[in-house]
Amino acid sequence: MTCFDRRDLGLLTLRLGTGGVLFAHGAQKLFGWFSGHGLEGTAQFMESLGYKPGKASALASGLAEAGGGALLGLGLATPAGGAAVVGGMAGAAAVHAPNGFFNTSGGYELPALYGLVGAGLAVAGPGRISLDHVCGHRLNRTWMVPAALAAAAAGATAAVTSRSREQRASEDAAAAPDAQEPMQETSQDE
């Protein structure tokens, strides 16, 4: 008989809670569930935030949250699930960073927390009450943790950098005075 210890129960609780919340948030973006806006509405919102193209950004964000959350909740491919959450939350944190840290001011507190939990679970592993354990940890090897986190960091860096460039270009265009005044038409009779 297998006896689960406090660590296994704690990891299960953390995985189910965090994974469930992230899955629901991603399902809002992808499917419009739980009063969400679905892929089209999320795509328009992502465009307004500077993540372009909006539909691809919405799909990536929704998959990172729903997919990463589901994997964490199930304890399956835990390094990949945790890394997906880290990458998605890095993109969200970039949006909220100008508002400071605390959520009460619209800051990056919650994305940072979810990202840290995703990273912590990727590193710690899912515990024995998990599909990874049932499957012999085929998708939860030690080497997979740094590989998955590095891939997530590269993807998030590319997305956030692209967004920053887009925002700078928009700000520069808005701040620049009209260099070309519309030419007034003159008639040949003058």
pLDDT digits (tens, 9 = 90+) for 39-74: 999 999 999 999 999 999 999 999 999 999 999 999
Low-confidence ranges of the chain (pLDDT < 70): 1-2, 177-190
173 CB neighbour count, 10 Å cutoff: 8
Tokens of 170: 């928009």
Amino acid at the residue 174: A
Query: 67: phi > 0 → left, psi -120 to 50 → alpha, else beta; which?
Result: alpha
Calpha distance 68→22 (Å, rounded): 8
Select from 13, 119, 2, 143 the least CA-distant residue to 68: 119
pLDDT for residue 187: 52
**pLDDT for residue 62:** 97
Model pTM score: 0.87
